[in-house]
C-alpha cells in the first residue's frame, strides 16, 4: 500500500534529507507534496523521475495526506499540526513542541519502537543530541541501570539549520582570504566555538541542555535518571559529537560493555586503540549509524563509564529517525 506524503519544511536541511531518504529507502510513496515558507515559492525539488514544486502551507493543502513530516520548527508545528490531525493524517514532528506531552510518544525506533501503535496519529522525534547519547546508552541502561549522566556535546552547524551551514562556509572562506565579513552571530563562528545559544533559563541551563535531561528520562522510561549537560556549538558542518560520563547502579566490566554493544542495530563500534583513533564528525557525516568508542572506567567514581559518540545530526539525529518512525507505523 502506498501513501500520500507531505513534508513541511521541505527546503530546509532536514526536509531535504527526508526527501532523499524516502527515495533511497523505497518508501511506499503514492504522492509526495512539499511545503515551505513563502520565500521558497517558485522553487522545485527532484524526487524519483519528477520535479516537485514547493507549495504554500494551508489547511486546504493539508487535506488528503496520509503521513506528514513536520521539520520547520516549533512555531509551525504548534500552528499546523492540530489542523493536520483533524484531517486524520499521521504526523511525525521533529520539533520540540510535543516531546514532553505525556500522551505523545517520543520515539527512537531501535530503543522504544514498541511505543508506536496503529492508533497513534502523532509521534515526536527526539532532539538530535539526545538520540546520539541514547543509541549507545540504552542497552547499557537496561543491563546496569543508569543513575547519573554528565554529558558534554560538540554540535555541528547543521543543528541550527541550513542558514548556519551557509554562515560557517562563507565566514570560513572570508577568514582564510582575509576578507571582510559581517557576522550574523554576536561573535565569529569560523575557527571558534560557543556555548549553545538556545534560550537561557533562570537555573543557568539553556533549553538544549534541559531537553537532553527530560527526553532521556522519557525515552528510557525512568524518571529517576539524573542528567546534566553542557552543549557547545563547534565549527563543524554536520555530525554532532559528545562525551558522556555515566554512573550505573550495578557494577560492570568493559568486556560486558563491548559484548552488549556489538550487535545493537544502528550503532557501530569505532575505535583503534593501537592508533589512538576514534570517530570524528567527518567519519560520521552521511552515515546512518551512530559511532561510539573510547569506553573506559572512571577511576574516580565506582560503577562509572566514560565514552565518546558521534552521529550525523541530519540523519539519525533528525531525518532518518523520522523516516524510521514512518516505516514502523505503516508496517503495523
- Tell me the per-residue pLDDT of 136-183, one tens digit each, with 9 for 90 and over: 999 999 999 999 999 999 999 999 998 999 999 999 999 999 999 998
Instruction: Choose the catalytic residue: 128, 141, 196, 292.
Output: 128
Does the annotation count 201 as an active-site position? no
Question: Same domain for 38 and 56?
Answer: yes
Q: In terms of residue numbers, what domain contains 97?
A: 3-126+318-331
Beta bridge partners of 244: 151, 307
Cell of 148: 547519573
Catalytic residue among 89, 231, 240, 292: 240
Same domain? For 104 and 169 the reply is: no
Residues 167 and 290 in one domain: yes
pLDDT tens figures, 48-100: 999 999 999 999 999 999 999 999 999 999 999 999 999 889 999 999 999 99
Q: Are 120 and 166 within one domain?
A: no
pLDDT band at 215 (very low <50, low <70, confident <90, very high): very high
Same domain, 106 and 156: no
Instruction: List the beta strands (DSSP E) in the chain.
Output: 3-8, 29-35, 44-47, 50-55, 67-70, 90-93, 122-124, 146-155, 194-195, 226-233, 240-248, 267-269, 271-272, 277-278, 290-297, 304-311
Span 117-139, pLDDT tens digits: 999 999 999 999 999 999 999 99
Closest CA to 61 of 33, 93, 40: 33
pLDDT for res 325: 98
Of the candidates 309, 213, 301, the residue with the CA atom closest to the CA atom of residue 251: 301
If asked whether residues 287 and 165 sit together in one domain, one would say: yes
Q: Which three cell numbers stand for residue 100?
A: 514532553
Predicted local distance difference test score (pLDDT) of residue 5: 98
pLDDT bucket at 243, cuts 50 / 70 / 90? very high
Q: 272 burial class (0-12, 13-18, 19+ CB within 10 angstroms)?
A: exposed
Read off the pTM: 0.97
Task: For residue 119, give the DSSP letter.
Answer: T
Same domain, 177 and 301: yes
Q: Are residues 155 and 247 in the same domain?
A: yes
71 included as an active-site residue: no
| 3-state class (DSSP) for residue 52 | strand
Q: Which residue from 36, 35, 25 is spatially nearest to 5, judged by alpha carbons?
A: 35
Quick one: 241 and 268 in the same domain?
yes
Mean pLDDT over each residue of the chain, to the nearest integer:
97
Q: What is the pLDDT of residue 279?
A: 98
Q: What is the domain-level CATH number for residue 273?
A: 3.30.360.10
269 in the same domain as 186: yes
Amino acid at each position: 500500500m502506498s501513501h500520500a506524503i507531505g513534508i513541511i519544511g521541505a527546503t530546509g536541511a532536514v526536509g531535504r534529507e527526508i526527501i532523499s531518504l524516502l527515495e533511497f529507502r523505497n518508501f511506499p510513496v503514492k504522492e509526495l507534496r512539499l511545503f515551505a515558507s513563502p520565500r521558497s515559492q517558485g522553487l522545485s525539488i527532484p524526487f524519483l523521475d519528477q520535479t516537485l514544486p514547493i507549495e504554500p502551507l494551508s489547511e486546504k493543502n493539508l487535506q488528503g495526506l496520509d503521513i506528514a513530516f513536520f521539520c520547520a520548527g516549533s512555531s509551525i508545528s504548534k500552528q499546523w499540526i492540530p489542523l493536520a490531525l483533524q484531517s486524520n493524517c499521521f504526523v511525525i514532528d521533529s520539533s520540540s513542541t510535543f516531546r514532553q506531552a505525556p500522551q505523545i510518544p517520543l520515539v527512537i525506533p531501535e530503543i522504544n519502537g514498541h511505543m508506536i501503535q496503529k492508533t497513534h496519529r502523532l509521534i515526536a522525534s527526539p532532539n538530535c543530541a539526545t538520540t546520539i547519547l541514547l543509541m549507545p546508552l540504552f542497552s547499557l541502561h537496561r543491563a546496569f541501570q543508569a543513575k547519573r549522566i554528565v554529558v558534554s556535546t560538540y554540535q555541528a552547524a547543521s543543528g541550527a539549520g541550513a542558514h548556519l551551514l551557509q554562515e560557517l562556509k562563507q565566514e570560513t572562506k572570508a577568514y582564510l582570504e582575509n576578507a571582510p565579513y559581517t557576522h550574523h552571530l554576536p561573535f565569529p563562528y569560523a575557527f571558534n566555538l560557543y556555548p549553545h545559544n538556545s534560550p537561557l533559563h533562570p537555573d543557568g541551563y539553556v533549553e538544549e541542555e534541559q531537553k537532553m535531561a527530560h527526553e532521556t528520562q522519557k525515552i528510557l522510561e525512568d524518571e529517576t535518571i539524573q542528567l546534566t549537560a553542557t552543549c557547545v556549538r563547534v565549527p563543524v558542518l554536520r555530525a554532532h559529537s559528545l562525551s558522556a560520563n555515566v554512573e550505573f547502579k550495578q557494577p560492570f566490566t568493559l568486556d560486558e560493555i563491548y559484548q552488549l554493544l556489538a550487535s545493537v542495530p544502528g550503532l557501530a563500534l569505532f575505535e583503534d586503540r593501537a592508533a589512538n583513533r576514534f570517530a570524528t564528525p567527518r567519519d560520521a557525516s552521511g552515515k546512518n549509524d551512530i559511532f561510539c568508542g573510547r569506553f573506559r572506567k572512571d577511576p574516580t567514581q565506582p560503577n562509572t563509564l566514560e565514552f565518546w559518540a558521534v552521529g550525523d545530526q541530519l540523519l539519525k539525529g533528525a531525518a532518518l529517525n523520522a523516516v524510521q518512525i514512518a516505516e514502523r507505523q505503516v508496517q503495523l
